[in-house]
Amino acid sequence: MRLLLRAEGVVVLAAALAAYAQFGAGWGVFALWLLVPDLSMLGYLAGPRVGAALYNAAHSYAGAVALLVLGVLAAMPWAVAGGLIWCAHIGLDRALGYGLKYAAGFGATHLGRIGRADPW
């Protein structure tokens, strides 16, 4: 199952990159905004429960697809570009094995444990 979910991430990343290339918003914009969803990790400063909630909100396809749909329906190019970049970010994370987080800590994800095992 984990391999399938990671492969799905590769497909989403490839589709978002292809669509973004056709959209023509510029790769500088793409590079500038690609890692913005990772700012949600700052939520872990308030504890694992808050951190996981903020991280999951920023790494769920729901928000990214909603922004993309808004951009298409309302003819808002910035929203289309943002939705594609956001989808690419999530796809890249999933392909690398970074999944949605459980409140048990940053390393506990729906794709399995990441990082070093807690020695305590």
Domain assignment of residue 116, yes or no: no
Number of domains into which the chain is organized:
1
Domain assignment of residue 119, yes or no: no
What pLDDT does residue 12 have? 98
What pLDDT does residue 71 have? 97
Domain assignment of residue 113, yes or no: no
Domain range for 19: 2-108
What pLDDT does residue 117 have? 55
**Rounded to 5 degrees, what angle do the CA atoms 61, 66, 69 make?**
120
Whole-number Å distance between alpha carbons of 93 and 82: 16
What pLDDT does residue 2 have? 82
Domain assignment of residue 94, yes or no: yes
Domain assignment of residue 82, yes or no: yes
Q: Could you state, in chain order, the average pLDDT of each consecutive group of 10 residues for the chain (120 residues)?
A: 90 98 93 96 95 96 98 97 98 92 83 60
Identify residue 3 by its one-letter amino acid code.
Answer: L
Domain assignment of residue 30, yes or no: yes
Domain assignment of residue 120, yes or no: no
What pLDDT does residue 99 have? 85
What pLDDT does residue 119 have? 43
Domain assignment of residue 15, yes or no: yes
Note if the pTM is more than 0.85.
Answer: yes
54 in Cβ contact with 40 (< 8 Å)? yes
